[in-house]
Chains A and B, each alone.
Chain A
Amino acid sequence: MASQNINWSAFTKKYPDKLVAALRGHIARGPFRITAHRLAIEANVADASATDLLRELVQNGFLKSDKKLICPCERMESLTAEQAAEDVCAFCGRAFEIDVPARPVELIEFVHAAKQTRDVRWLLALHGMNTQGAWQETFNWLVSRTYRRSVPVAIYKYGVVRPGAIVKFRQRALVRELTGRIRRLSGQSEETGFGGTPDVIAHSLGTWLLGHALVEDATLRVGRVILLGCILRPDFDWELLLRRKQVESVLCHVATSDFWAGIAHYFIPDSGPSGRSGFNDRNNVGHVALVGKHHSDFFKEAEMPTLFERVWQPFLTQAAGESMPASNVLPVRSWRQTWWPLRATVMRWLLLAAIGGFVLVILLGLSLGLADLWRLI
């Protein structure tokens, strides 16, 4: 029962704000058992208010009440109905109302039977090809402030690799480097008690490198994965990685006007526009859409804190087995590769040739210009 299904504003009209806020916090943080008295103490309100609010949530089906019978002695052992009907406590051996001053006491606990939320242990941030990933530092700062405890963020930088992104041997080298780095960091984090597998937030070429590193090395493991401006093929086989337990779960955060994700397929081998239109697999991959936004808009100062709080953080901490986010603005589609000559086959060589030609022209221009300049001098 998710906290967001409860109409909290209706409760704030009837009950003290502090009481509603306290209970809302408990429900948001997962399972708990609480007595009305304990909640009342926490919120510094009357027991009756806490009892009424909790009972109302029981009536609405958000909580359950669990009646217990407790021996009134100091040990306060929980008794079965059969034991409570006896004259003597089955645990302390003392007679009710004679050796101890009362019959078994009824205690009502209110139970939120939710699944336990998940803890984020450490994170790996992978940047894209066009930048040095300044957003990673901002993200690190955001994480540090959110959890208060130590949640290390490993920032992996491989530099600006614009031409390297379209050359296979360079791609392979980058994948190998990333695999090695994840292994080293996992070993170090395991040794220091943070747990072995990182949750990963990856952008652009970082998504491509992560996906391919996982496919190529079946022993490589990560936790939950957030993909931003993703350039993996929309038919990428996440199901295989989930089945091999290499990945816990995947969230693809789409920007519907992402130009670079849209054209990646034509220049970067084995890539596709998943960052613009999502993955074909909507059962295993969660999708959230940032409508009308572009490739790197996730990292804008006005966007990232909100996205982190409302989308990424809930995804990372939601209980295992909870339903994945699903976007209702992204059409479900079955993406296929484009016509062979238009893929990153001929096109990337044309692009390289164009870049080469451009560089040659510049160099020629410079050298001819320099020759003229020499003559003038």
Chain B
Amino acid sequence: MINANVADSTKDRAAARALVKSIVLAQGNIFIRELLRRKKITIGVRKQEFETNLLQAINSGDLRLADVVEWLEEVEGWGDQHIYLYHLKDELARNPLWSSAASVQQSLPRSQQNLWDADSLVFPEEWSLTGISYNDGSLRYVWHERLKTLLRRLGMDRRDRIDGDWYQFRAYLERPDRAVMRFVLRPAKQLAAIFMQIPAEGNAHESAHSMVRDATKPLIDWKQLADFSASDVIKNLDQAVLDSQARTNVRSKKMRLTDADNYVEFANTSQEGDLAESEAIRSVRRAVKPEEFAGNVGVFLYEGRTPTQQKRTVKIEIFGEQRRIKIWAQLKANEVWSILELLTNYEQWPAKT
């Protein structure tokens, strides 16, 4: 971790500028605007204007490396990701290990000691564990991998005749970026989660799981982590929305229930609408006994708030068979945890509201 009191040296300014040109600009506009607003820097409308204003603020000393790092920890790698959620069994949750950061640090193997509270401004070529920390009652493991974000640049397109044939070249600007993976364990809440910014393709998630288990093995007995019952949450949350219990900030967009190799699906196709709007669909839905089905896929719209308190709809997708949650928009860490806690409330019926 960077100490906020570190002198704003030339080296730090260079590091801050590098961060702005890479990771910072890769974050969502609403979050960049929040950083600019928080530091009382002129905001602008487009990414190019954000970049100019951020760089000017770094040069003038209004924005320091520590500010950027602190902000990145809140927003980078939160939301727009897949999440695997677990419940801690009592034995793990009550482990005296969690009594202090020092006891956690002492329990780390020697090979991981150098990662304790490490600065994670690196861009490793492959997924690498870049930091371990324990603060605010949360154990965190963070992995990073260099990414190249491709930005379409029309002006660089060209069409050439090569050996008598016409070829079209589409141009993309490569912007250095990085993907984040986290494992976070919160003993007091008896929750743990793996947060992955990795597409669910091939066996990518299985590999990532193995990486997390191997790295955390010295501290975590994975037998003490119980799986999140995603299938039940799909059914119970939809039922709660139908019964108007969760309608204040959640709407149901799609639900697929399976009975062995058969399924029934309820969905709303418009951008803003939800299932419960239609009396005819509700009537069919009410005829279904959820206990006879498994929740296969559920898509819910969560009513969040932007930093300026404007409404922001976030799509949450739950995959029952994989026990996986996908959040389709970038969020701040606390918003992601609010959503996860909401979901855990619906693992049982009636829900813990």
Contacts and interface: CB of A to CB of B under 8 A. Distances in A.
B152 A148 contact: no
B280 A119 contact: no
Interface in B216-244: 239, 243
Contacts of B154: 87-88, 95, 98
A150 B286 CA distance: 8
B7 interface: no
A360 to B, nearest CB: 57
B151 A116 contact: no
Given A33-B273, A195-B243, A98 B282 contact: no
B162 interface: no
Contacts of A33: 270, 272-273
Given A33-B272, A93-B152, A116 B283 contact: no
A32 B279 CA distance: 10
Interface string B43-77: 00100000000000000000000000000000000
Contact of A99 (B150, B170, B271, B283): B170
A68 interface: yes
A93 B151 CA distance: 7
Interface string A29-46: 111110000000000000
Contacts of B286: 119, 121, 149-150
B92 interface: no
A78 B273 CA distance: 13
B152 A88 contact: yes
A95 B152 contact: yes
Contacts of A30: 277-279
Contacts of B287: 149-150
A193 B277 CA distance: 20
B282 A119 contact: yes
Interface residues of B, number: 26
Nearest to A149: B287
A374 interface: no
B270 A109 contact: yes
Given A98-B157, A99-B152, A195-B243, A29 B278 contact: yes
Contacts of B157: 98
Nearest to B270: A33
B284 interface: yes
Contacts of A49: none
A117 interface: yes
B185 interface: no
Nearest to A151: B286
Contacts of A117: 279
A33 B291 CA distance: 31
Given A30-B277, A33-B270, A149-B283, A193 B151 contact: no
B276 interface: yes
Contacts of B304: none
A184 interface: no
A116 B277 contact: yes
B161 interface: no
B278 A32 contact: yes
B289 interface: yes
Contacts of B239: 193
Contacts of A78: 271
Contacts of B170: 95, 98-99
Nearest to B281: A29
B290 interface: yes
Given A68-B271, A87-B154, A99-B152, A32 B277 contact: yes
A84 to B, nearest CB: 14
Interface string A54-92: 000000000000001000000000100010000110000
Which of B154, B157, B170, B239 has most chain A Cβ within 10 Å? Answer: B154
A169 interface: no
Contacts of B283: 119, 147-149
A99 B150 CA distance: 14
A333 interface: no
Nearest to B242: A119
Nearest to B268: A33
B79 to A, nearest CB: 15
Nearest to B157: A98
B225 to A, nearest CB: 31
**Residue among B276, B278, B284, B287 with most chain A CB within 10 A:** B278
A148 B170 CA distance: 57
29 contacts: A29-B278, A29-B279, A30-B279, A32-B277, A32-B278, A33-B270, A68-B271, A78-B271, A82-B45, A87-B154, A88-B152, A93-B150, A94-B152, A95-B152, A95-B154, A98-B157, A98-B170, A109-B270, A116-B276, A116-B279, A119-B279, A119-B282, A119-B283, A119-B286, A147-B283, A149-B283, A149-B284, A149-B286, A317-B279
What are the 7 tightest A-B residue pairs by CB atom distance, in nearest-first order? A29-B279, A149-B287, A88-B152, A33-B270, A78-B271, A31-B277, A117-B279
